[in-house]
Amino acid sequence: MKPRMHPFSRILVALAAASMSLCFVLPAWFIYLLAPQYPEGLTMYIWLDHLSGDVTIINGLNHYIGMKHIDASMFPEFTYLRYILGGIILLGLLVAFTGRRKHLFFFVLLLVGFAGAALYDFYSWGYDYGHHLDPKAAIQVPGLFYQPPVVGHKKLLNFDAYSYPDSGGWIVIGAGLLCIAVWSWERFLRKGARPSRSVVLPGKSALAASVLLLFTLSSCSQGLKPFQVGRDACADCRMTIADVHYGAELITSKGRTYVFDDLRCLAHFRKANVAAAANAQLYFADYERGTLVPAAQAWVLTDTSYQTPMNSHSVAFSDRAAADRQAKGSPQPGLTALEKL
């Protein structure tokens, strides 16, 4: 009888595989730039299928030293990474269901190979991006190149550049390490153990655990959801949501939800992520109730007396009558006001 994994090992593998689905709704990597003129720093977030953060500002700075304009079109990987990760997740669940140690070994090799290929691809992009400069750039330093670090820190002119996994990337790393730990335990500590005779129950247990986790993840990351003060982070400025009366939400055509702590952050995110924001549903926080209302139905007031998190001084109301009662100028339709921010 071929050796099978312990039921608990199979459940751990299933949970590790299912947890990687969080990478569909979380950024996988980030590049952070710090300079005297930008004491708060500039951040570019890399997702499976798009970019977000301060991409527009970074492009403006890089233009002077001849670097290429960063946009989603320069990353063909965005068109297929989701499918590759989805296939890896399904294979992980299949390994948990079959419970074969050999299958787990090959799955671990697949994870290591995927990680290595991703890092090499990132390095190749960074090399091309930092070495192939516009010869007509306004600022030219002979012999100096601007390749960003793959992992870690690097000094680029007066900027300190940092490159590290973001939340989605750490989840994939953690899932891979968990699978390696399970295989090591099965291979070296349980090497002489009797093969597990229970074939059906552990398979069902592992499958049930993964389905339960996937259901939980989908329920908390898809569609309209209330703000979680102190836990949710703005998708643009990355500040923690501290007040439910100023925020907004964007739901993409694929059902992914982004939360924002200020209408200005939503406006900036839409301009920096045109593809992701296309045909998206927009919701503004009602200033009076703190609940979310469709942006198309909302009315917005802009006044310096409203101390919003990112100083847009703009707040939304569920109807014009509520905005008029504030007696602070003329309210504007929600979408019109958003375009002006």
Confidence (pLDDT) at 90: 96
Question: Among 155-169, 197-211, 240-254, 284-298, which stretch is predicted with the lowest mean pLDDT?
Answer: 197-211
Q: Which range in 37-41, 194-198, 230-234, 282-286 is most confidently predicted, on average pLDDT?
A: 282-286
Show the tokens assigned to 103: 């299958």
Reported as type and span, the H/E element at residue 314 is: strand 314-317
Spatial contact of 312 and 263, defined as CB atoms under 8 Å apart = yes
Residue of 67, 74, 33 lying closest to 53 (CA atoms): 33
The residue behind tokens 């003129």 is 37
Predicted confidence (pLDDT) per residue in 168-216, tens digit: 999 999 999 999 999 999 888 766 554 444 444 444 554 555 555 554 4
Instruction: DSSP letter for 219, please.
Output: H
pTM above 0.95, yes or no: no
Spatial contact of 217 and 20, defined as CB atoms under 8 Å apart = no
Spatial contact of 259 and 241, defined as CB atoms under 8 Å apart = yes
Confidence (pLDDT) at 200: 41
Spatial contact of 314 and 301, defined as CB atoms under 8 Å apart = yes
State the pLDDT confidence band at 46, using cuts at 50, 70 and 90: very high
Mean pLDDT, residues 99-110: 92
Question: Among 8-22, 79-93, 214-228, 305-319, which stretch is predicted with the lowest mean pLDDT?
Answer: 214-228
Mean predicted lDDT score pLDDT of the chain: 84
| Residue ranges covered by each domain of the chain | 7-221, 248-340
Residue of 107, 93, 115 lying closest to 12 (CA atoms): 93
Confidence (pLDDT) at 223: 63
